[in-house]
Every structure is written in structure tokens, then in C-alpha cells.
Structure 1
């Protein structure tokens, strides 16, 4: 692909993203940064985990993204009695034909909201693994492909709350990004109260893009150039998490791939054809923190994974600004 063509396609991605971000902002006040990261994760082809206290807008962000992107939307409330088949689907025997027929579950949609995912049992949580990793569901030995694009946005309240099941490392690793929506500032909360005094804008929020637009944008994002120096930087960040004295299990190769993908998407959102170190650093907390398993002494001391990521970013040398990395055709 020539540099001129790449520039034109990424300009289209930037315009596409601008429409989506502006549309979501009609619903969520003051959440531009987390919305941008969430959209970057979707453009990178990944799934999102939104972790925060109740009432901070996690579900609303998922609904607004689905509506804006023109994706089909299904919401599943995860509870202890939820069965895997309640999510993926089940084969039903039809006496009239004498055969079993597969009835698709709510996972067969464009964007699945797995609400309060940590309230379901590990068996039900694991039902999402194949779909998130392979884009398919296997039931009774038969594989059913999920039509692309397919995105899982899961929410969970902090795991210290009672009645929850901690997501295992294998499940967490399937999420490209873990994000926190956060509380609004007092000024933002006042604006929110004024905006939502009448009917909620989510009820009338229309699509500003189509699923085909998303697939095209994803293809363009994959063409964003990453220099060899930045690839070494990304690999070094992951390796440093593994060697950190407070970490028992650090980021693996999938973490490095995720970091590169989100950095490419952030560069595309900025209208650039190449990745900068700042893109990698902006992506690192959301990509790496939930993939770190801390040593028991670090957990007892109250150390948070985000602090480890910040420490890793401080100590890993940043490569020189490689403007030429994206300039070549």
C-alpha cells in the first residue's frame, strides 16, 4: 500500500472515529478519554472489560458504542444461576423433524454486553473464551461461526464486593483492554443532570456508522506502521513486567500484540500513519495492568497493578522519536 493511499484511508478512520466519539458524547458527559480508548480497543479488534463502582456509566458506554457503531446489541445479566447455554445457545430436539436444531443464544450479536460478569460462576464465564478468542461457538460438537464484527464488552464491580467470582487469568487475558469509567467532576455532573432531566438521549441515539465501516476501519488500522525500535520497546515493556520483583506473572506475547494493536488504533484516531512512543504509553495501563498477577507480599501491601505499569514505563528507556518510521511507503 502506498503512503498516499494509507494516509487517505486513515483520514477516513479519523473522520469515522470523530463521528462516533461525538455521538457517544451526547450520552456520556466528560468521558472523552475513556471513550477514545474503548473505541481504539474495538478498532484493534479486541474486547473490553469495564471495571468500576456501580452507577458510573459502564453499561451506558457499551450501549452508546453499539448504537453509534450500528452494531446489533444484546445484554446478558450475569448471575450465579446463569448457565453457559443461556449465553451461547442450545440444541433443541424437534419432534416434527426428529432432529436437533441449534437455537442461537444472545452471544450471536454485534456487541454483547456481559453485565456484571464476575457474578456468574467460572463455568459460565469460561463459555465466552472460545467466542472471544476464535469468533465461534461449539455446541454438541458442531461449530457455529459468529458473524463479524463481534465485540464483547463486559462490566464488573470491584472484586472486593460480596457475591462475586474473580475472573481467572486466562479469561482476563482475552480482554484487550480493562478500563475504568470513573466518577464525573462536579461540573460534569451538573451538566449530566441538566441533560438527563427529560428523556434519556440513549433512547434516540442513532447510528453514525455501519458494521462494514468498522471492518474497513479495522483493516486500515492494521496498516499503521510500527518501527522496529517501537516493537523492541513494546517487547521490552512486557518483559520488564515479567521481571518486576513485585510481579508473579507478567504480560505475555498476547499482551505485546495487544499493546501494538491499541497503539496503532490510537495513532489512526490521531490521523497518523505511524505509531509514536506516546501511543504505546497511552495504551499501556489499559492493556497491561489486568494481565499482571502480583506476588502475595505486594498484594498485602496494597500495591495496584497500575502502579507496576507506571513503574515499568518510568524505567524502560523510550526510543528516539522515529518520524521516519511512518514516512516510508
Structure 2
């Protein structure tokens, strides 16, 4: 296992300030000691995010070249996703907005491929009825497969796998369940594709909110586990804290990962530890994140601590990067 972090650990700023440029995120993370990263494409609703710009191909070429110079490998990415809260996301229901959003998804897959990403993390769909109540697991599964089948076709052509993330139910005054909050649903969904290019990203913060025992859940997931999101909380809110700042039983987590012989990365998704900090304090928080991640790795059973060799299969650092052919509308949606 290797330590990784998402670019979102430095992207979001205090009091809704402008996003930090992805190039700057990479430089700051490299300075803190990270050498493996997850590039987060979820910020496409922010007009300044590089993927939305006309020069987006030049932008991620610059990111790839900078990563190469700094010795950074991108092993996974996070795709843009529709918000699951009812009423439905206008980016999903408005035809014009949806067409634009799907173009952003296409760009994210192309950029992932060019940067050497192995697994693109996605969210399943929860099907809701007209009153905002979750429909059956079967209906959600059908909607998820219909939506992601053309995404998978494009991703596979580009040499990228898709990893479905476990969700967590919505609690509070208007509680709602979410599809794939159950790991049994998640396993069933992934196996229904009958494709080795589809796997699971296990979010430990979500799992902790669902009160799952790490050994039980990960024991069932086994070799389907391809990526991780590592964050902590106190079992109530999805706080995205650093490991050991909440109540996730990390010793049990690392033992369970060893038991299933997980060989992927431990990827911090701990932006909750930095997004409220004043800018002068964020670099120190990044160093603490790196130290916490290294300590987490030290909890591996001794027989699983062998150093993992770099696995970059992509073209990070290539100049110029060619995406031939790229045409908006590659993802053809099912009716």
C-alpha cells in the first residue's frame, strides 16, 4: 500500500473563497511529501475550475508536466457527479445543463487517461419517486447501470477503470437512504457489470457513519476493492477529518486490508482538516496529513509492508499530450 491524497485537500478555501488552482495544489502536496495523488474533477460547477475552460487540454498537459517534474503519480481520480438530494439536481433534469455536464464528464475521463489514472471514482444513483422518497434498490440499480454503461465504454477505451464508491444514508430532519450505502448493494452492482474494469472505492468515513465493522465489510468486498477514500469522523457527520481525529477504528481497518491483501493506495480525502483554515496555516496541516498517513501505513501487519513499485501506466508528463480523437458527445446516454 502507498499513501496518496486527493487534490481537494488544498482546493477549497475558508469562507467560500476562490478555489486554489490545481497546479498549486499539486506543488503544495509535493512540498508536504506526497508522491501519489488523486485528481478531483468534482469542481466543474465552479467557473474557474480548469476543466471548464476552453484551454482545458493545455491545462491538464501543464498539470501532467508539473507532476512529472515533482515526481507525482496520479493513480485515481474523482468524476463529477449529480447531487442526490431531492428535488433532483438541475444539472440532471435540465437538458441543456445536462449536456454541458456530460461534456465535463467526458473531459474528466480523457484527462484521467492522459494523466495515467487507473481508477476513476464515481457515485451510484438513488432513484427517487415524485415525493422525494427513495424507490427500490432494484430501480436504483437499473438507473445506475443505464447511466454508467456508456461512461464505462468510454473509460475502457481510454484505459481507465471505474470504481463505485460506497455512499451513506442521509440523516437529520428528512432522513433518506441512498443506494450503495449498503455494501451488499455495492457488491451486487459491481458484479452485475461482469467486467474487470469495474471495481469498488471504499470510503471509510461513509462506512463509519453506517456503523460497519471493517473486517466484515472488507472481507465481503475482497478483490473488488480497487481504490480508497480515507477520512475520519465521529459516526454522525461526514466530517472528512484526518485519520485519528475521529472514531474510525484504524487498527481494525489496517488489519482488514491486510487480510484481503489489498495492494492499492490509501488516498486521503480529508479536506475537512484544511478547508476552514486561514491560508498561512494550510501547509502545516498538509504536513500533518502526510505524517498521519504515514503512521496509518505503519499499522499494516508486518508481512504486508513490502514496498510497492510505481504502477503508472499512463502518459503523465508527456508533452504534448494527444487525445485523438476527442469530440464532445462521446458519451451516448441511454433513453
Q: Using structure 2 for the length normalisation, give the TM-score.
A: 0.29
Q: Using structure 1 for the length normalisation, give the TM-score.
A: 0.29
Q: Which has the higher helix share?
A: 1
Which of structures 1 and 2 has the bigger CA Rg?
A: 1
